[in-house]
Chains A and B, each alone.
Chain A
Amino acid sequence: KAGVTQTPRYLIKTRGQQVTLSCSPISGHRSVSWYQQTPGQGLQFLFEYFSETQRNKGNFPGRFSGRQFSNSRSEMNVSTLELGDSALYLCASSLGVAGIKREQYFGPGTRLTVT
């Protein structure tokens, strides 16, 4: 079974631009979570989607948004990029949100650099 995939793997953007990152979960997984990983802040939760609905949202500004499609693929968008948005963005998929099947498996991440 293929793992979680993310595209692109690397991105360089300039301040003020916007960016869209994509995540394809493991086949059969319906939940996708997004995290921002930086050396100083560790793994910070952005949001979680299940069945095309946002189920939870972390403490990030409204410039960070996401969505999930009917095939469970998810996209994350960051508008008006700031230098501080430079980070590794990880998505993780799991079978479900609640209940027993909540093990999350991570993708390889998208390394975003904002200049």
Chain B
Amino acid sequence: GENVEQHPSTLSVQEGDSAVIKCTYSDSASNYFPWYKQELGKRPQLIIDIRSNVGEKKDQRIAVTLNKTAKHFSLHITETQPEDSAVYFCAARASGSARQLTFGSGTQLTVLP
């Protein structure tokens, strides 16, 4: 089955700096890669996703890049703000009714004011 590895497990950045979280996946058939943000005590929220037919997607301060050849994808947050502090999860899924969404282990991002 799919295995998703996520790094780093913790990340501290100064407010205004950029943050990058990286994930690798094992199943070459995976073609959908969402990112979730989970604030303390709250549900995971989908913040951005990318499909395998594109290499990069941006949404304001957030961007995701995908390298299918290397089987890795990354989340980039620019101009970080204290409210960006949360746990971020990457995930991967292949198409087909028998494929599940497999999550990475999460990254605790702390933005220092």
Chains A and B are bound partners: yes
Interface-lining segment among B10-18, B44-52, B69-77: B44-52
- Asked whether, in the complex, the Cβ of A104 is within 8 Å of the Cβ of B89, the reply is no
Tell me, in angstroms, the Cα distance from A99 to B100 when the chains sit together: 13
How many of A's residues come within 8 Å of B, CB to CB?
22
Q: Does A33 sit at the interface, judged by CB under 8 A?
A: yes
Chain B, interface SS category: loop
Tell me, in angstroms, the Cα distance from A18 to B97 when the chains sit together: 30
Beyond A104-B46, A107-B43, A108-B43, whether A42 also contacts B100 by CB under 8 A is no
Question: Interface residues, chain A, CB within 8 Å of chain B?
Answer: 33, 35, 42-43, 45, 48, 50, 55-56, 58, 90, 97-99, 102-109
Question: Interface residues, chain B, CB within 8 Å of chain A?
Answer: 32, 34, 36, 42-46, 49, 89, 93, 95-106
